[in-house]
Amino acid sequence: MDPLDFSVLNNVLINFLWHLLIVVHSQTKPIVAQHFLSQNQVWREIKYAMSSLPWISIPTVALFFAEVRGYSKLYDNVSDSPLGWSGLFLSMISFLFFTDMCIYWIHRFLHHKLIYKMFHKPHHIWKIPTPFASHAFHPVDGFLQGLPYHIYPFLFPLHKVLYLALYVFVNIWTISIHDGDYRVPSGLISVINGSAHHTDHHLFFDYNYGQYFTLWDRLGGSYRHPSALMGKGPMDLIRKLQVEGKLRKEQVNGHDQRRATCKEE
């Protein structure tokens, strides 16, 4: 595949699937309690994402060009891999664990008090996010958290089609951890970083930085068992904070960005 065609196809496909999946998700999984969504929240999430994505795409497309023009270890045919088909499977697993590790530390770095307000705070406006908040990042924040996906093929061999499939997958996953559907197979609750885990990250701030797995949160001392899976959903915390006077109703989900009293301030 021509490098330009691959890069354009990748970005068009990702953006199309992002819009399609969010619309489908929001129609089929009305899990988030609507009375705790601030006025026009979904529209503001969409607006912020749409204003950031073009800026995120500029350096991202530049990296794609470098990757597909021979500067990376991407390859076209399975026969190009010294391990054959088993190499594809191993690269898929290593891609997930490598990017999960990198995103954990990047995400945690973005929570540092010296830079949090500049780059990561806009995403944390939404205490109870919807799927539309999944890509509502400051451009610098969005690019940094997506950077590990592009570092990987410069370090390790990866099939181009598998790379595209994984890139689609990580966008779907990003939507899923913001969708408010807290169901996780019981045997995977302590392993997979799902929507319940990530909702607690938005609510409690210092926990559950991971992307797919809980491994690095456990190693880094930032793991928190999801409150929603203990019968204490995010709505209970919101009510508790309001009763204690730590959170006014108009501050829920970014309605009042200037006078928020939550921990991240």
Instruction: Kindly state whether residue 263 falls inside one of the protein's structural domains.
Output: no
**Whole-angstrom distance, CA of residue 214 vs CA of residue 160:** 28
**How remote is the C-alpha of 170 from its chain's centroid?**
8
Please tell me the total count of domains within the chain.
1
Instruction: Kindly state whether residue 262 falls inside one of the protein's structural domains.
Output: no
Give the residue among 160, 165, 127 at the shortest CA–CA distance from 17: 165
Please give the chain's pLDDT, 265 residues, in tens.
Answer: 444 444 444 554 555 455 455 444 444 444 444 445 566 888 888 899 999 999 999 999 999 889 988 899 999 999 888 888 898 999 999 999 999 999 999 999 999 999 999 999 999 988 888 888 889 999 999 999 999 999 999 999 999 999 999 999 999 999 999 888 888 888 888 999 999 899 899 988 899 999 999 999 999 999 999 888 876 656 566 666 666 665 555 555 554 443 333 455 4
Instruction: Kindly state whether residue 175 falls inside one of the protein's structural domains.
Output: yes
Instruction: Kindly state whether residue 135 falls inside one of the protein's structural domains.
Output: yes
Instruction: Kindly state whether residue 132 falls inside one of the protein's structural domains.
Output: yes
Instruction: Kindly state whether residue 142 falls inside one of the protein's structural domains.
Output: yes
Report yes or no on whether pTM surpasses 0.85: no
Range of the domain at 46: 3-25+33-254
Structure letter (DSSP) for residue 75 = E
Instruction: Kindly state whether residue 260 falls inside one of the protein's structural domains.
Output: no
Give the residue among 138, 96, 131 at the shortest CA–CA distance from 115: 138
φ/ψ of 74, rounded to 5, equals -70, 145
Q: Tokens at residue 165, please?
A: 């499939």
Give the residue among 184, 197, 27 at the shortest CA–CA distance from 100: 197
**Whole-angstrom distance, CA of residue 9 vs CA of residue 138:** 24
Instruction: Kindly state whether residue 259 falls inside one of the protein's structural domains.
Output: no
Structure letter (DSSP) for residue 71 = I
**Whole-angstrom distance, CA of residue 256 vs CA of residue 61:** 35
**Whole-angstrom distance, CA of residue 42 vs CA of residue 34:** 11
DSSP assignment of 28-56 equals: H---S-GGGSPTTHHHHHHHHHHHHHHHH
